[in-house]
Amino acid sequence: MTSETDMTHKTLALEVNGRVVETRVPAHRTLLDALRDLGYVEVKRGCEKGDCGACAVLVDGVALDSCLTLAWTVEGCSVTTVTGLGNRTEMHPLQEAFVEHGAIQCGYCTPGLIIAAHSMLSENPSPSEADIRNGLSGNLCRCTGYTKVFDAVAKAAGAMREAGETS
């Protein structure tokens, strides 16, 4: 016989930033909470209703708001946070461009913006300014005014095309 606690929790196995992790989560736990509980604090808690994009992660290459995604629904999937794209010593072209263009001010929204940009560039490696604006429309930033963000994404798109990267 299974106890009530056992029925309301699920052992979840997924790949995060190339590493397989297992955790036990209640059925109602969001991916945001599960990732932060596992130590992935680069996934930011923003509005918790899908309006700001601060919690965006890639799930099998597609940007999702982790605050709206139940953790158990990504069982067996590949989850990538901004740290999975690159780090301080080996930055992804998007990360480099954000730094170079001053598209980071307080930095709170930056992980979600980079994830959204990555997802958009995977689908459209040669975006127009309107494409970039549309691709990042689900992300809120209160500090930069977006111009530097849009410039950074355009720069990274060019660098990625030159390097033959599609994402």
Could you report the per-residue pLDDT of 84-105, keeping only the tens digit for each? 999 889 999 999 999 999 999 8
Q: Which residues of 77-114 are buried (b: 16+ CB within 10 A; e: fewer)?
A: bbbbbbbbbeeeeeebbbbebbeebebbeeebbbbbbb
Q: pLDDT tens-digit profile of 52-95?
A: 999 999 999 999 999 999 999 999 999 999 999 998 899 999 99
For domain 4-83, which CATH number applies: 3.40.1390.30, 3.40.1710.10, 3.40.50.10190, 3.10.20.30?
3.10.20.30
Task: Tell me: pLDDT of 24 over 70.
Answer: yes
The pLDDT, as a whole number, for residue 4 is 47
- Coil/strand/helix, residue 31: helix
Report residue 148's pLDDT band, with 50, 70 and 90 as the boundaries: very high
Residue 103 φ/ψ, nearest 5 degrees: -85, 10
Which tokens hold the place of 145? Answer: 């005014």
The helix (run of H) or strand (run of E) holding residue 98 is: helix 93-100
Report strand pairing: 78-80 vs 9-16: parallel
Which residues make up the CATH 3.10.20.30 domain(s) of the chain?
4-83
% residues pLDDT > 90 (the chain)? 86
The structure's pTM equals 0.92
What's the mean per-residue pLDDT of the chain? 93
Which residues make up the CATH 1.10.150.120 domain(s) of the chain?
85-162
Cα separation, 25 vs 8, in Å, equals 8
What is the DSSP secondary structure assignment for residue 160, as one 8-state letter? H
**Domain spanning 85-162 has what CATH number?**
1.10.150.120
The pLDDT, as a whole number, for residue 6 is 60
